[in-house]
Amino acid sequence: MTTERILIASDHAGFELKEKLEHALEDLGFDVQDLGTNTADSTDYADYAHPLAQKVSTGEVERGVLLCGTGLGMSYTANRYPRVRAAVAWNPDIAKLARQHNDSNVLVLPARFLSEEQGVEILKAWLETPFEGGRHARRVDKIEIPDSNP
C-alpha cells in the first residue's frame, strides 16, 4: 500500500496548531508535506494558500489542510483554483458533511477558535469520511464556472 501524501500550510495564526496537526497526520501514517509557515512571525495567508491550492488543483496531491485565524482568508484564496473545494470546518459534523455532500479536498481550520483536541477531532472526521456521490456528485459538478476550465 502506498502512503498518501497530504499537504499542510498555515499563516502565523495557524502555525502552532499546524505543527500539532502535522504530527497527528504523521501518526496516522500520512506522508506530510509542510508548505510553511515555519515560525509564529506575522505573515500573509495567501502566500501559503496559493502553493497548496495549486497542487490540489492540478491533481499533483489529492488533499490538503490549511489553517489561519478564522479560516476565511485561506478558504477565499484556495477556492479561486479550479477543482479546489476548500471547506472551513469548526466542528466534526461540519467536516463530515463537507466530505459527504461537498467532496471537500482541502480542509480549512479556524485556528484561533480551536483547541488542539478539537483540531485533531475535526481533522480525523474529515479524513475518514467518504463522499456520498449520487445527487451530491451532480451538485458538486455544477460548482465550476461553465467553460472556465478547458
Q: CA-CA distance, 130 to 109, in Å (whole number)?
A: 19
Helix (H/G/I), strand (E/B), else coil: 112: helix
From residue 83 to residue 122, the character string flagging contacts with ligand RB5 as x (rule: CB under 6 A) and all else as - is ----------------------------------------
Binding of residue 13 to ligand RB5 (CB under 6 A) = yes
Q: Which is nearest to 92 in space by CA: 67, 109, 73?
A: 109
Of 45, 48, 81, 126, which lies in the binding site for ligand RB5, with binding defined by CB under 6 A?
A: 45
- The least CB distance from residue 52 to ligand RB5, in Å, is 15
Backbone angles phi, psi at 128, to 5 degrees: -90, -10
Window contacting ligand RB5 (CB under 6 A); options: 25-33, 65-73, 91-99, 139-147? 65-73
Cell numbers that stand for 21 in this block: 496537526
Residue 69 binds to ligand RB5 (criterion: CB under 6 A): yes
Cβ pair 90, 114 in contact under 8 A? yes
| Residue 68 is a catalytic residue | yes
Tell me whether residue 101 is one of the annotated catalytic residues.
Answer: yes
Min dist. Cβ of residue 8 to ligand RB5 (A): 15
- Specify the length of the chain in residues: 150
Q: Is 36 in the site for ligand RB5 (CB under 6 A)?
A: no
Phi-psi sector, 71: left (phi>0), alpha (psi -120 to 50), beta:
left
The residues of the shown chain that bind ligand RB5, judged by CB under 6 A, are 11, 13, 45, 68-70, 72-73
Q: Which residues are catalytic?
A: 68, 101
